Copies of this chain bind each other. A is one copy, B any other.
Amino acid sequence: MTLQTGADLRELRDRKPLVHQITNYVVMNETANATLALGALPVMAHAMQEVEEMASVAGALVLNIGTLSEHWIEAMLSAATAANEAGAPIVLDPVGAGATTLRTETAKRILDHAEIAVVRGNAAEIATLAGRAAEIRGVESIGVEGSAQELAQGAARALGTVAAVTGPIDHVSDGERVIAVSNGDELLSTVTGTGCMSTAVTGCFLAVRPDSPLEAAAEALVAFGVAGEDAAVGAPGPGTFHVQLYDALYNLDPETIDGRARSSEAARDSQ
């Protein structure tokens, strides 16, 4: 396996890439702060008049459909085109795909419209996009058919992107290889927007490794998971955990993070 989370984290902090995010109202502050705490520079911009200009100078583009409306969809499509033209990788977070037709269709529309490097979602969201049966309640995955490993691999093939399926164990696949990451903590599911934060962190690593989206996505989940583990220490509940998550992202140690990674690669073409 080729994960080099520590080295890429060091480079990220040296280069401080600009990560342009068009994301939902609920988590804007949180994903901006996670980006900043990790060591990159976030910028949030959604007006049609400026998204192309911003996306074209960014190191990566994060698209998150958590609170859609028509103007925002148009802005995401324009920004995606500009990012593709500039060679900046895009990560898509299909928040709530499967919960409403608008969300499912919009996620598909973005995938059809532009080259997306990574799609990061929960099992139900990713399964929905891959045309599989899934149950979602609001934005929470309730259940899907098949194993998470097989889902990640199949979705990557169906969508032509890297698929990062997060859950108790995360699975990242490019359609051939599948990397499992089991870092993290249960408290992550008690704070809204932690999935969105992991997508933003994926954008940060993509900015550093634009040509290796599989590794970038897996490293992001290692880094975010390790931060989650650190944040859980002594946290009596989601409030304190949430605060300590930013402290932990800020204090992630490139020297030790590779030794703390709980990642493994499944056999190729295991299905």
A86 within 8 A of B: no
CA distance A240 to B37 in the complex (A): 12
Chain B residue with minimal CB distance to A71? B69
Q: How many copies does the complex hold?
A: 3
- A217 CB, min distance to chain B CBs, angstroms: 23
The digit string for A167-180, where 1 denotes a CB below 8 A from any CB of B, is: 00000000000000
Residues of B with C-beta under 8 A to A25: 25, 28, 44
The digit string for A75-93, where 1 denotes a CB below 8 A from any CB of B, is: 0000000000000000000
A33 within 8 A of B: yes
Q: Which of A6-60 contact B (CB under 8 A)?
A: 16, 18, 20, 24-30, 32-33, 36-37, 41-47, 49-50, 53-54, 57-58
Residues of B with C-beta under 8 A to A249: 237
Q: Is the CB of B243 within 8 A of A37?
A: no
Q: Is the CB of A138 within 8 A of B41?
A: yes
Among B24, B44, B69, B100, contact of A67 (Cβ-Cβ < 8 Å) = B44
Q: Give the contact stretch, choosing among A121-129, A143-151, A155-163, A188-196.
A: A188-196
**A30, A248, A250 interface centre (most CB from chain B within 10 Å):** A250
- A66 CB, min distance to chain B CBs, angstroms: 7
Q: Is the CB of B138 within 8 A of A191?
A: no
Contact A240:B244 (CB < 8 A) given known A44-B24, A50-B101: yes
A258 within 8 A of B: no
A68 within 8 A of B: yes
CA distance A99 to B53 in the complex (A): 8
Chain B residue with minimal CB distance to A138? B43
Q: How large is the interface on A (under 10, 10 to 19, 20 to 34, 35 or more residues)?
A: 35 or more
- A56 CB, min distance to chain B CBs, angstroms: 10
Among B29, B71, B140, contact of A27 (Cβ-Cβ < 8 Å) = B29
Q: Is the CB of B29 within 8 A of A96?
A: no
Residues of B with C-beta under 8 A to A191: 33, 36
Residues of B with C-beta under 8 A to A242: 33, 239, 243, 246
Residues of B with C-beta under 8 A to A246: 237-239, 242
Q: Is the CB of A140 within 8 A of B41?
A: yes
Q: Is the CB of A66 within 8 A of B50?
A: no
